Structure 1
Amino acid sequence: MRGRRLDADTVTGLVAEATAAPSMHNAQPWRFRFVTEERVLLLRGDTDRTMPRSDPGNRALHIGCGAALFNLRVAAAHAGLAPEVRLFPEPGDPLLLAAVHLDPGGTAPDREGLARLRPAVRERRTSRHPFLDEDIPGEVRQRLHDASAQEGAALLFLGPWHTETVLDLVRDAESRDVTTPGNRQDLECWTRLGTRAATAVDGVPEYAFGPRERDGRAFSRDFAGRRPVAGRGTAGFERRPRLALLSTPGDQPADWLRAGQALERVLLEATLAGLATSLSSHPLESADLRRLVRDPVSGRGQVQMVLRLGYGPRGPATPRRPVREVLDIV
């Protein structure tokens, strides 16, 4: 059993599940290579999909790739494989982010726990629609908190005053985009309007922008900006969104990869619990705003993502590149 080769269809299926992960502006900044004889799947960051203005240090690239890595672990466990992960296996090659040995006959810790999450991989969506003004039960919050801890991160649900602070910082980030020439360059590069939305394989298509805010406190950045979007309506958003911060102890590339894995584990658990979710890195893209997002009481950890969770409509599925464009088998 340990000597069994993995066929191309199996590997292709695993990578298809991995690439269902979220990434900043749906840029999908990953590439995979499967080394058949070694049964090792390599994950590499794709520098053709970086965002020089919004993510000059590639923090978001690492988080997106970490989310894809977690989906890969889930898919492998569901397929009866034992994924053994090494982060940064070649110190001289910093964009080689992970090597995943896929052992058909091995055992791995938490394989059942990972496999349990697999139905949520395809169900998870980013929703930029209004949610209900309804609290999330304590047992669900605890489950999500535990999910982040399993991957070496921390999830903090915000109280009312901290929520208002973070919403104000989201507004500050939006205002900077409007008033500073060039700030929206990355966003406009990765949004798909008109006929491009129907044929897109990456980026955020206009049908996923969500409605414009009529009242309440919209959390997501306005992907349209001042550009017209046919048929886009307005809606009232919740008065107090349920927000949470995902943090890691450090702020190095390995921490970002762990943050991405923790983020996806939280999102999949939330999906299984019937929650809709959306993400924002907008106030984290400027160093001065990012410092202000952190909980001033505890003052611990580096905030890697802001999450909005609640009960409401799931967002539409956003496009993905064909697996043949992101996977090499040698």
Structure 2
Amino acid sequence: MNGRTLEPETVSTLVAEAAAAPSMHNAQPWHFRYLSGERVLLLRADHERAMPRSDPDNRALHIGCGAALFNLRVAAAHAGIAPRTTLLPEPTDPLLLAAVQLTDLLDDAGSGELVRLHPAIRQRHTSRYPFAEKEVPGQVRAALQDAAAREGAALDFPGPWHAETVLDLVRDAESRDVVDPDVNEDLVRWTRLGAEADTAVDGVPEYAFGPRRRDGRAPVRDFSGRRPVADRGTTTFEYTPLLALLSTPEDGPAAWLRAGQALERVLLEATLADLATSLTSHALEDRTLRLLARDPGSDTGQVQMVLRLGYGPRGPATPRRAVRDVLDFA
């Protein structure tokens, strides 16, 4: 049963919390439409925010929208609403990524687990700062792996040899950027420097770049490139970063949306465990490099995201578009 009528303010709150999700270069490539008569919230891809050079298949776009979808599920459960989600509900409309039926909440364990994650939605921020060379306990790693599994994905902590391979792939991607400046076109479009950073509603503002890496081996993308950023500074990052690889059994739009939901569930769980997190898809933007990121022992699964985890600053909040710009009512 659909139950009580949802007020526009309630729907707006759900969408605001959904839109706190991470997305590639903080492009926020989503748009929501609420069908009030049916109590259905539609999630659509905003193709104007796609990145044709660095994300030609829209894989990262789907992952970002999947992360927003998971936040929506958490926010709905917290509001006492059951989100019944259908991925890719209309095969003839590939931009329609999900339909979420908002019904009266059933008292089940699954909803309680979602509610538990709710405080982390606003606490989670991407950190481009160095982390302490400190071990993450095994029970915390296991909880993160369980979070990914609940969404049909796998989270693996690569051993030294595999981690070295992934770091080499990141360095290869950085070298590619130097040789082919055109690949930075999307990054330049979605970074905000100087006065623009103070009024930005999307993209990565310069105050979220973090310091330049003087030394260390952590995979941290330099969003400034060769452009000067005042008072940024340099510092040493981890020499042995803790990496995790998020993968799905299959590839394609549905798998990418599931990966996004799994990613956000892992990030919220990590936030509650007082971990700082950062993401890199740099080595995954080239399909050839992406295939090499898989576990060399099993050679299975499709790597969708590389996570860096540790204890350190969480990083500043990045801007978000106003709800009125990402939600309409019908």
Name the TM-score class by shorter chain: over 0.9
Per-residue CA deviations over 1:205-258 (Å, capped at 9, x if unaligned) read: 001111111111131111111000001100100111000100000111000000
Counterpart in 2 of 1:190? 190
Q: State percent identity of aligned pairs.
A: 71
**Residue correspondence of structure 1 range 279-294 to structure 2 within 5 A:** 279-294=279-294
Shift of 1:2: 4.0
State the secondary structure of the residue aligned to 2:100. strand
**Residue segments in structure 1 that go unaligned for 5+ positions in a row:** none
Alignment of structure 1 residues 243-322 onto 2, 5 Å: 243-322=243-322
For each residue in 1:241-297, what CA deviation from the matched residue of structure 2 results, as whole angstroms up to 9, or x when unmatched? 000100000111000000000000000000000100000000000011111111100
| Partner-residue secondary structure (3-state), 2:181 | coil
Structure 2 contact 218–240 (Cα < 8 Å) conserved: no
User: Cα distance, 1:13 vs. partner?
Assistant: 0.2
TM-score (norm 2): 0.98
Q: Does the 8 Å CA contact 1:187/1:223 hold for their aligned counterparts? A: yes
User: How many corresponding residue pairs?
Assistant: 330
SS of structure 2 residue aligned to 1:102: strand
- Partners of 2:14 and 2:51 in 1: how far apart? 27
Measure the CA separation in 2 of the matches of 1:300 and 1:109: 31
Shift of 1:3: 3.1
RMSD (Å), alpha carbons: 1.1
8 Å contact kept, 1:2–1:105: no
Could you report, residue by residue, the CA deviation over 1:93-132 in whole angstroms, capped at 9, with x for unpaired residues?
0110000000125456610000100000000000000000
Aligned residue in 2 for 1:235: 235
1:95 pairs with 2:95: yes
- 1:121 corresponds to: 121
Runs of 4+ in 1 over 3 A off after TM superposition: 105-109
Question: Per-residue CA shift, 1:150-206, capped at 9, x if unaligned?
Answer: 000000001122222111111110111111131100000000000000000000000
Give the alignment's TM-score, normalised by structure 1: 0.98
What does the per-residue CA deviation read over 1:124-145, in whole Å, with 9 as the maximum and x for residues that have no partner? 0000000001111000000000
Comparing 36-45 with 162-171, greater Cα deviation is found at 162-171
Q: Decide which moves more: 160-169 or 186-195.
A: 160-169
Matched residue, 2:68: 68
1:37–1:208 distance in 2 versus 1, CA, 3 Å: same
Equivalent residues in 2 for 1:1-330, closer than 5 Å: 2-104=2-104, 106=106, 110-330=110-330
- Preserved contact between residue 201 and residue 321 of structure 1 (Cα < 8 Å): yes
Q: Which moved more, 1:139-148 or 1:154-163?
A: 154-163
